[in-house]
Amino acid sequence: MQIHINRNQKELKLHGDYAFPLHLSDERLSSYESGSFLWHWHPEIELTLILEGTILYQINETTYSLKKGEALFCNANTLHTGHMDHGQDCIYFSVTFHPRLLYGFENSLIYTHYVQTVCEDSSFPSLLFRPEVTWQKNVIQYLYQIYTLHHTEVFSKELKLQILLLQIWNEIFEHKQTVPAVSASSNKQMERIRTILSYLHTHYAEKITLEDIASSINLCKSECCRLFKSHMKESLFRYLLNFRIEQSLPLLSTTDKSITEIAESTGFSNPCYFTKIFREHKGCSPSEYRKKLETPKTFTSGFSIHPPH
């Protein structure tokens, strides 16, 4: 499994529907290829509650190491990704909702005073919730209540869910000013990162040069590399290789294309180089990976989830 995004990194999955724009899901990192989900964004707000294990969750240039009982707020339209911490699996609960669920209709008082001021504030991309801080503990407990509701058939569930989200939003709004703001220069740099990612995701199947990428954001090659590595925590070249490998996986699992054809269609100069890089990432060759998919597997996590009272 992997997140489906367009060339601008926008996630294509629907998060609820127009009538009730909320999506609740139980997730585990090991269900994603490579134990990580790709960089993406969406117009919805996302709250993540860690149920078991740990995750390295990056929002823009900030990386959070989250453990059981902690939670994270990711603002609307903000880039984020997550991956395993030293190969350890993580089970987490995702709450993704459109801000409209909070304010009802545009230009309402709730929208202009309490929601727009948060969602359109680029200096406020994320917020970590830890149980040691009283108001943050309240948010975590509300998320556990949402988790319980998600797994229970109860009367007026949607109403109860909306009330809990409004309680969470009230905590975020009241304490937003206590969170250090991101500088305007950092916001400009993240826009450049978005442009680089868009270029890579559009042209990954082609021959790409560093000069091409640097030209797309009007920077010199060395500054382009420095910018990308400082924000993305990996080199530009390494990211491109990782992305190309990720794009090869559905071709191996759902098509009969040859290894040579797959290598060519994902931007590798030759099948030998593709196999070499694939083995570095997956610990096996593309052919071996394809054979593994034909073998049914059973999986148990070893985790037992007990939300606190």
Chain segment 34-93, per-residue pLDDT in tens: 788 888 889 999 999 999 999 999 999 899 999 999 999 999 999 999 999 988 999 999
- pLDDT for residue 2 is more than 80: no
User: What mean pLDDT do residues 137-165 have?
Assistant: 97
Confidence check: pLDDT of 169 > 80 = yes
How far apart (Å, rounded) are the C-alpha atoms in residues 232 and 282?
Answer: 21
Q: Are residues 39 and 139 in the same domain?
A: yes
Instruction: For residue range 174-193, list pLDDT tens digits in order.
Output: 999 888 778 777 888 888 99
| pLDDT given for residue 74 in this prediction | 97
Predicted local confidence at residue 306, as pLDDT:
60
Supply the Cα-derived Rg of the chain in whole angstroms.
21
Predicted pLDDT at 299: 47
Whole-angstrom CA distances from 106 to 99, 110, 239 are: 10, 9, 39
Residue 46 pLDDT: 97
Confidence (pLDDT) at 222: 95
220 plus 280 within the same structural domain? yes
* Domain that residue 120 falls in: 22-178
The pTM score is 0.83
In sequence order, what are the residues at sequence separation of 6 or more whose Cβ sits closer than 8 angstroms to the Cβ of residue 297?
A: none
Q: Is the pLDDT reported for residue 298 higher than 50?
A: no
Tokens of residue 180, six digits: 């250090």
Look-up of token digits 């994603």? 32
Tell me which of 45 and 296 has the higher pLDDT: 45
Better pLDDT: 293 or 275: 275
Do 259 and 274 contact (CB within 8 A), yes or no? yes
Verify that 195 and 265 share a domain, yes or no: yes
What total of structural domains would you count in the chain? 2
Taking alpha carbons only, the member of 12, 71, 66 closest to residue 38 is 12
Q: What is the CATH classification number for the domain harbouring 257?
A: 1.10.10.60
Burial readout 76-109 (b: 16 or more C-beta within 10 A, e: otherwise): bebbbbbbbbeeebbbbbebbbbbebbbeeeeee
Is there a single domain that holds both residue 142 and residue 195? no
Q: How far is CA 292 from the centre of its chain?
A: 27
**161 and 29 both lie in a single domain:** yes
Q: Evaluate if residue 287 carries a pLDDT over 90.
A: yes
Q: Is 244 exposed, middle or buried (0-12, 13-18, 19+ CB in 10 A)?
A: buried
Stretch 97-113: mean pLDDT, rounded? 94
Whether 53 and 128 map to the same domain: the answer is yes
Give the whole-angstrom CA distance, residue 91 versus residue 69: 11
Average pLDDT over residues 151-180: 94
CA distance 148 to 155: 13
Same domain, 287 and 226: yes
Predicted confidence at residue 178, as pLDDT, reads: 85
Task: Decide if 27 contacts 49 (C-beta within 8 A).
Answer: no
Q: Examine the pLDDT at 270 and tell me if it is beyond 70.
A: yes
pLDDT tens per residue across span 5-36: 666 667 767 788 889 999 999 999 999 877 88
pLDDT at site 15: 82
Find out whether 47 and 143 touch, Cβ atoms under 8 Å. Answer: yes
Would you say residue 242 has pLDDT above 70?
Answer: yes
Residues 27 and 174 in one domain: yes
Q: What's the pLDDT at 153?
A: 93
Alpha carbon distance 19, 93 (integer Å): 22
Within a domain: residue 207?
yes
The span from the CA of 64 to the CA of 28, in Å, is 17
pLDDT at 114 over 90: yes
146 in the same domain as 32: yes
How far apart are the two ends of the chain, measured CA to CA in Å?
A: 33
Say whether both 103 and 218 belong to one domain: no
